[in-house]
Amino acid sequence: MIENLLLGLSTAFTPMNLLWCFIGVLLGTIIGLLPGMGSSTGVAILIPLTLTVEPVTALIMLAGIYYGAQYGGTITSVLLSTPGEAATVVTTLDGYQMARRGRAGAALAIAAIGSFFAAIVSLLLLAGLAPPFAELALRFGPQENLAVMVLALVTMVAFSGQSRTRAAAMATVGVLLACVGVDAGTGEARYTFGNINLLSGIPYIEVVIGLFAVGEVLHQIRVGMAKPIRAGFRDLMIRRQDVRDSAGAIGRGSLLGFALGCLPGAGTTLASFIAYGVEKRVSKNSKQFGRGAIQGVAAPESANNAAANANFIPTLTLGIPGGATTAVLLGALTVYGLQPGPLLFAEEPDLVWGLLVSFFIGNVILLVLNLPLAPVFAQLLRIPYGYLYPIILFTSFVGAYAIDNNFFSVWVVFVFGVIGYGMKRFDLPMAPLVVGVVVGALFEKALVQTSAIEDGNLLMIFTRPIAVTILALAVLLMIGPALMRRARALLGPTRPREDREDEETHV
């Protein structure tokens, strides 16, 4: 573990990589801050920017955008009550209330400190856990992969932001979209209508750009601009007492976030919601939750950062995205000609460890940037949307073209932009669709291979212990919360009020 970290340090500490790491986290903060831009969008439209540099440098920057956006998203959540990033939605509950009481600075500072602590904890956990995970993943055959895909889809649905039915519907649409292209089993072209561009399937980076960037912008134009609460430098002072009060929340949030982030398909949003829910239950200060409790900011902010890092475990070791953003990063890996999967750790150790160590460096930079500069970043919120949105649209379309130098990509972005607007309008979640598209293709391949190996008898999957364990976990995730509720109801209505709240945060 030590030599791995040293190897990572030697890779990450080159001037070039440090510079790109800085650019990544800075851009990430800004992207997280801008309404209508999330980390998935940011990573997707900025991939072309990284095509000239080494893969490891590119990944360091793109990952920087990912966790940098978790910081940036906090700023809008606190000052605007408009999360710039889905993972910071729950921060609005207490963060905005703190800001209204003139404690915006304390909220932003504790978020930065919590995120930083979480990053350190999760880096150590990553360094310790990723190699055994990769080792385990080496033994994965199509049967195990099939089980993991099922788990990814179930996680996505079970913990989606709003209704499970909508999430399940969107994940299904995603899987169906993944059917376009050459069939893995027979080599026949499906749903391509004679269009050669569709032979390789619907390109998902373009789908992400369309849904998240173009769709969001269209949506924001309709919604209009919100006025931010001013935060001055003076407000930034955080009391020692605040840190002491939040220590427990940060610790719990980090560990919980990491554990949940390891699940394929979980993303960071889930981690922030659950951490908030748990903290509300265990905190001594639970009455203040929703009215500006500092723990209500510290816990989810630590959790989303820890989860962002932990997401790289399924992404790098299994080649299965941890969430929408890592799905895009997965696409980036293949653009650079790298094959994500267990062999990546053996074949590209400097890339993997350089990337992981860069998380640490990036978070140090973010802490330094965010503690004093949060009010400066907040000024960006005053850019009129009239300037902002054309820039986002321009970058989206040019970026899409540059990925493959193919005008078809631009059409995909356009079509999915319109679809994304419609989905926003009808409150349909986008992340399950994206994960569905990515996982769908992998799912089908695993299904075809398993079927071929087991001579068409898919029940044979139950003879594989690892696959059974993964499937059992999926079942547990699906019915667990419902069972808990049922069990509690049976045991008697001891704390009916809290039950209801629990449900609220779980959705």
What minimum distance in Å lies between the beta carbon of 387 and another protein?
15
Nearer to another protein, 203 or 253 (CB): 203
DSSP 3-state of 181: strand
- The verdict on 172 binding another protein (CB under 8 A) reads no
- The verdict on 414 binding another protein (CB under 8 A) reads no
- The verdict on 339 binding another protein (CB under 8 A) reads yes
Nearer to another protein, 162 or 457 (CB): 457
Residues 443 to 472: which contact another protein by CB under 8 A?
Answer: 445, 448-449, 452-453, 455
| Out of 2, 3, 15, 186, the residue judged to bind another protein by CB under 8 A | 186
Largest Cα–Cα distance of the chain, in whole Å?
A: 70
- The verdict on 402 binding another protein (CB under 8 A) reads yes
| Out of 197, 285, 286, 288, the residue judged to bind another protein by CB under 8 A | 197
- The verdict on 489 binding another protein (CB under 8 A) reads no
What minimum distance in Å lies between the beta carbon of 61 and another protein?
13
- The verdict on 179 binding another protein (CB under 8 A) reads no
Nearer to another protein, 221 or 343 (CB): 343
Phi, psi of 190 (to 5 degrees): -120, 140
Tell me which residue of 34, 23, 62, 30 sits closest to 46, measured CA to CA: 62
Q: Quickly list DSSP for 25-42.
A: HHHHHHHHHSTT--HHHH
Residue ranges in 101-199 assigned as alpha helix (H): 104-138, 142-158, 164-177
Q: Which stretch binds another protein (CB under 8 A): 71-79, 168-176, 187-195, 213-221?
A: 187-195
- The verdict on 139 binding another protein (CB under 8 A) reads yes
- The verdict on 343 binding another protein (CB under 8 A) reads yes
Whether 64 contacts 458, CB under 8 Å: no
- The verdict on 403 binding another protein (CB under 8 A) reads yes
Burial grade of 415 (CB within 10 A; 0-12, 13-18, 19 or more): middle
Q: Measured between alpha carbons, how far is 6 from 495 in angstroms, rounded to an integer? A: 51
Residue 183 has a CB neighbour count (10 Å cut-off) of: 13
How many residues sit in the footprint of another protein (CB under 8 A)? 40
What minimum distance in Å lies between the beta carbon of 376 and another protein?
29
Nearer to another protein, 176 or 398 (CB): 398
How big is the CA angle at 68 (ends 65 and 72), to the nearest 5 degrees? 120
- The 8-class DSSP code of residue 182 comes to E
| Out of 15, 193, 241, 405, the residue judged to bind another protein by CB under 8 A | 405
Nearer to another protein, 121 or 438 (CB): 438
CA distances from 327 to 45, 132, 319 (A): 13, 22, 9
Q: Measured between alpha carbons, how far is 74 from 79 in angstroms, rounded to an integer? A: 8
- The verdict on 190 binding another protein (CB under 8 A) reads no
Residue keyed to tokens 């791995």 = 4
- The verdict on 27 binding another protein (CB under 8 A) reads no
| Out of 169, 335, 380, 460, the residue judged to bind another protein by CB under 8 A | 335
User: H or E stretch including 280?
Assistant: helix 269-282
For residue 106, give both structure tokens.
């304390």
Tell me which residue of 466, 363, 54, 34 sits closest to 225, measured CA to CA: 34
- The verdict on 48 binding another protein (CB under 8 A) reads yes
| Out of 3, 15, 196, 500, the residue judged to bind another protein by CB under 8 A | 196
Write out the residues near another protein by the rule CB under 8 A: 48, 51-52, 55, 138-139, 141-142, 181-189, 196-197, 199-201, 334-337, 339, 343, 398, 401-405, 445, 448-449, 452-453, 455
